[in-house]
């Protein structure tokens, strides 16, 4: 399984990911904000170079699928897309079709789709979890729930959170036998998709952690 021959660079990947469809009517309670395509490409391209992509991957809280689809393009063996919102999963499926049939980017990785609450997931194992979950703004501890689930699924976890969550991430990782190997800081653009947003693009300080089980 090799990276699609049409994608030769991180910026090439970002361009493809920028063409994917986002949420139609984002649900604020579920904190439905898609990952920015440049940021997604940055992390996934690192994952490729770090040999974390040619694996079985779970995209937890996949939304419209940008992270998992990027992983498929970079040669993932299989991606399991999980989200509580069936409409988001529907768009993720459409996006995969779009990449294959319109952009003519082929990939041979398998796909699986699960509509369900991360807290009720059972019997899932993978090599890597990639997640940009709710940041726990609307539902307290939603970020913690995702992280705990991720630790139960794989030995390697890429997880996005608010930058100010650093202490909590360190703490919970240590308790669960994980350590942070890499950290990226981003100004996360939250595009104005929800009624209560005033500025057109709000930016929040966020980060992505690569966490690995301590052997
Ligand atoms: N990972 C996507 C979406 C980020 S938005 C991306 O990077 O673009 C967060 C996603 O988590 C939304 O799609 C939302 O529907 C999903 N979500 C929120 N709570 C959930 C839960 N309890 N179980 C599963 N998915 C959940």
What is the pLDDT at residue 138? 83
Instruction: List, in sequence order, every beta strand (DSSP E) within the chain.
Output: 56-60, 78-83, 110-115, 128-131, 156-162, 178-191, 201-213
Q: Is the Cβ atom of 33 under 6 angstroms away from ligand 1?
A: yes
Of the residues 61, 139, 140, which should be mutated to test ligand 1's pocket, given the most ligand atoms within 8 Å of the CB?
A: 61
pLDDT per residue as tens digits for the range 95-117 = 999 999 999 999 999 999 999 99
CA–CA distance, 170 with 64 (Å, rounded to integer):
29
CA–CA distance, 185 with 167 (Å, rounded to integer):
15
Distance (angstroms) between ligand 1 centre and the Cα of 118 equals 9
Residue 93 has which token pair? Answer: 């499926």
Helices (H), the chain: 10-18, 37-49, 66-73, 86-97, 142-153, 166-175
Give the side-chain half-sphere CA count within 13 A for 100: 12
Q: What is the mean pLDDT of residues 148-155?
A: 98
Residue 193: which pLDDT band, with cuts at 50, 70 and 90?
low
Which numbered atom of ligand 1 lies nearest the CA of 27? 15
Residue nearest to atom 17 of ligand 1 (CA): 61
State the sign of the Cα–Cα–Cα–Cα dihedral 2, 78, 112, 143: negative
Distance (angstroms) between ligand 1 centre and the Cα of 5 equals 30
């Amino acid at each position: 399984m090799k990276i699609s021959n049409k994608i030769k660079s991180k910026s090439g990947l970002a361009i493809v990911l920028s063409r994917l469809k986002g949420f139609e009517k984002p649900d604020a309670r579920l904190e439905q904000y898609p990952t920015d395509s440049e940021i997604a490409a940055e992390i996934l391209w690192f994952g490729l170079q770090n040999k974390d992509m040619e694996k079985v991957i779970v995209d937890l809280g996949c939304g419209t699928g940008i992270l998992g689809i990027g992983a498929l393009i970079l040669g993932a063996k299989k991606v399991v897309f999980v989200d509580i919102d069936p409409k988001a999963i529907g768009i993720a499926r459409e996006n995969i079709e779009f990449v294959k049939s319109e952009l003519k980017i082929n990939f041979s990785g398998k796909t699986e789709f699960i509509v369900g609450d991360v807290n009720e997931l059972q019997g899932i194992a993978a090599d890597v979890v990639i997640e940009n979950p709710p940041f726990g703004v609307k539902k307290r501890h939603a970020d913690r729930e995702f992280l705990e689930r991720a630790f139960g699924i794989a030995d390697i976890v890429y997880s996005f959170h608010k930058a100010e969550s650093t202490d909590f991430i360190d703490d919970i990782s240590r308790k669960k036998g994980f350590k942070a190997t890499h950290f990226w800081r981003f100004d996360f653009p939250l595009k104005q998709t929800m009624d209560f947003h005033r500025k057109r693009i709000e930016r929040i300080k966020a980060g992505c952690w690569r966490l690995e089980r301590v052997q």
